Structure formats: structure tokens, C-alpha cells
Amino acid sequence: MMFKSPDLHTHSTASDGTLSPTALIERAGGAGIEVMALTDHDSVAGIAEAARAAESIGLTLIPGVEVSVTWGGRTVHVLGLDLDPSCSVLLQGLCRLQTYRDWRATEIARKLAIAGFDGALDGARAYAEGGLIGRTHFARFLVERGAAQDVRGVFKRFLVNGKPGHVRGEWASLEEAVGWIRAAGGHAVIAHPARYGLTRRKMLRLIGEFRECGGRALEVVSGSHSRDEYFVFARHAAEHRLLASAGSDYHGPDNPWIELGRLPPLPEGCTPIWALSGFGRSAAKAA
Ligand code: AMP
Ligand code: MN
Ligand code: MN
Ligand code: MN
């Protein structure tokens, strides 16, 4: 199926977005988006609500997920697109990541208490509104406490490697993540590949291993990529016979530098993942 300007990477309150699945879909509809994927971190809990909202306004909602992966000692994100959110293999895998995430939250809170911030677990939980707890929720709480001016500042000072509230990731392996996504009938995509600070050599190794596991695409156009980076990853995709994806990585209106429905087209020479025959087939089933 060929779609007009899809946005294949967004977050809701089921993970660290600030809009509910319904509010997110309504905003996407208002921005003229016809096809959108909901890709919450390690969770498909928002998809049923999003699919209902999408159906009522005639938007095609691609069921998705953004799986946290530990690869070569760092965290890498792998998107699963057009998958069956009720697949038990996928759900069991995500359940394990959520268990780790809950443990990590207690550990982050313990470390932040040592750094002088009490009550961080309850504080983060309040921002998580019943969804899973991520570092973004801790960051919002720490902004409220005056630890830094904004979420980015909190990450820089407290939540990244080497800082007082950092806890080393123990997520899925690359093979597991791609395996869960494929078991659910989805396509695996390396999310925002420019954000991992990999040397060219390591990037080639990641791409090679990803292909061996059955990965299909690179997110070439991303809200967190620069224009130059679009072209770098368009070339990687072409050279390694991977498809290209595009997504804003929208987290809500309080990050005004990333908006829904404003993605530039893929660079020339890319084969878009949405040109795959049958792409979008999980959309109707999820509603
Ligand atoms: P987690 O999966 O809980 O470790 O959180 C990862 C999320 O934190 C990402 O998806 C972003 O939403 C957010 N994040 C990561 N690094 C930064 C940063 N430097 N500034 C702002 N947000 C960040
Ligand atoms: Mn996030
Ligand atoms: Mn990500
Ligand atoms: Mn994301």
C-alpha cells in the first residue's frame, strides 16, 4: 500500500508521551496525517484506544512498539511496525522489559535520594499516570523540584551515563527484540540511528547484526535527525538493502521543536517501508 506522508514513530501516555492515545490521534488528524504508527516504549497498551479513536476519524493507525535493546553495552531502540499487539511472544517479551523497568525505577529513585532528591519514585509515578515509568517521568519530576530548568537539562545532569541517577540498561538483546517483532508479524526498524554515538565501524556492525536477525529498515527521517543525517542513513539503507522509515518521535506539545505531520520526504533512492506490499494490514484488526 502506498501512503501519503506517514508518521511512523509517536508516543502516548502509555509510555512517556504527554497526550492520551485519543488526544494524540485527534491531534494527528488535525495535522492532516492519514497514516500514523503508535510506538510506545516497551508497551502496546495504548493501541486499542488509539485504534478506536483512529477509526472514528478515518485515520489509519499502524500498531507499533519501540523496544529497548542493550547492544554492545549501550541502549538502542528498535521499532516494530504493523504488528499484532495481541501476540503472546511479543507480550511476554515486553512484560519482561517492564519488570526490569520497574526495578530500574526503584534503583533510579534510590540513587536520586542519595543525590538529595527524596520521593522521586512517587513523583515519577505521578507523571507516568499509570503507564510504565521511564526516565522522562523522573526528569519531569526533577524539573518540578528545580533540579534543572527543563527535561533536557535534567537528563544531562542526572540521568545519562556517569551521572548520579543513571542505571545501566539491561534490556532485550537485538536478536530477541527483532524476534518478538517478527513473531507478531511486524517489521523491525532501527530507530533514530544517528542518536547512538556509534563510530562508522560500529554502525556497520549494528546494521549487519540487525539484518542477520531479520531486521528490515532504518529510520532515515526522524524528528531527532539533522538534514545531513537523513542522507547518511539513506545511503546506509541503500547500501545494505534495508528499507527506509520516517517518524517524528513525537512526545507531546511541550516539545514544540517536534510536531506531528511535518516530516520532510525521504531522500531520493530510498525504498519506503510503507511501499511494502501488505503494509498496514494490522491497522484494521487493531480497531
Ligand atoms: P527510558 O527508556 O526510560 O530510558 O527513556 C528513554 C527516553 O528518554 C527517550 O525515548 C526520550 O524520550 C528520553 N530521553 C533520552 N535522552 C534524553 C535527553 N538527553 N533529553 C531529553 N530526553 C531524553
Ligand atoms: Mn521517549
Ligand atoms: Mn527512542
Ligand atoms: Mn521514540
Q: Write the pLDDT tens digit of every residue in 37-72.
A: 999 999 999 999 999 999 999 999 999 999 999 999
268 alpha carbon – ligand 4 mean position (Å): 24
Does the pLDDT value for residue 255 go beyond 90? no
Give the chain's radius of gyration (CA, Å): 18
- State mean pLDDT over 132-147: 98
What is the residue with the minimal CA distance to atom 6 of ligand 1? Answer: 135
Report the b/e string of 226-238 with b at 16+ CB within 10 A: eeebbebbbebbb
* 261 confidence band (pLDDT: 50, 70, 90): confident
- Rounded distance between C-alpha atoms, residue 142 and residue 117, angstroms: 8
Cell of 278: 501488505
262 alpha carbon – ligand 2 mean position (Å): 19
pTM across the whole model: 0.97
Does the pLDDT value for residue 23 go beyond 90? yes
Q: Is 18 in the pocket of ligand 1 (CB under 6 A)?
A: no
> How many residues can be counted in the chain?
287
Q: Is 134 in the pocket of ligand 1 (CB under 6 A)?
A: yes
Q: Residue 54: helix, strand or coil by DSSP?
A: helix
Summarised one tens digit per residue, pLDDT across range 86-122 is 999 999 999 999 999 999 999 999 999 999 999 999 9
Bridge-based pairing of strands 60-71 and 35-38 is: parallel
- Rounded distance between C-alpha atoms, residue 196 and residue 190, angstroms: 11
Q: CA distances (Å), 197 to each of 7, 64, 72, 203, 221, in order?
A: 24, 25, 12, 9, 17
266 alpha carbon – ligand 2 mean position (Å): 23
What is the residue with the minimal CA distance to atom 16 of ligand 1? Answer: 155
21 alpha carbon – ligand 4 mean position (Å): 15
Q: Is 68 in the pocket of ligand 1 (CB under 6 A)?
A: yes
The closest alpha carbon to 275, from 231, 222, 217, 201, belongs to: 217
Q: From the CA of 75, which ligand is nearest?
A: 1
pLDDT score of 267 = 97
- Rounded distance between C-alpha atoms, residue 131 and residue 15, angstroms: 6
Q: CA distances (Å), 255 to each of 165, 239, 251, 259, in order?
A: 23, 34, 7, 8
- Rounded distance between C-alpha atoms, residue 109 and residue 142, angstroms: 11
Q: From the CA of 39, which ligand is nearest?
A: 4
Beta strands in 149-208 (DSSP E): 187-190
DSSP 82: S
Bridge-based pairing of strands 60-71 and 243-247 is: unpaired
Residue 279, amino acid: F
Could you please report the per-residue DSSP string of 241-253? T-EEEEE--B--T
- Rounded distance between C-alpha atoms, residue 255 and residue 120, angstroms: 22
3-state helix, strand, coil in the chain (%, to 5): 45, 15, 40
- Cell numbers 519488570: residue: 99
Chain Cα centroid distance, residue 166: 20
- Atom number in ligand 1 closest to CA 68: 2
Start-to-end Cα distance in the chain: 19
Note whether 133 and 125 are within 8 A (CB).
yes
pLDDT score of 3 = 52
Q: Residue 76: helix, strand or coil by DSSP?
A: strand
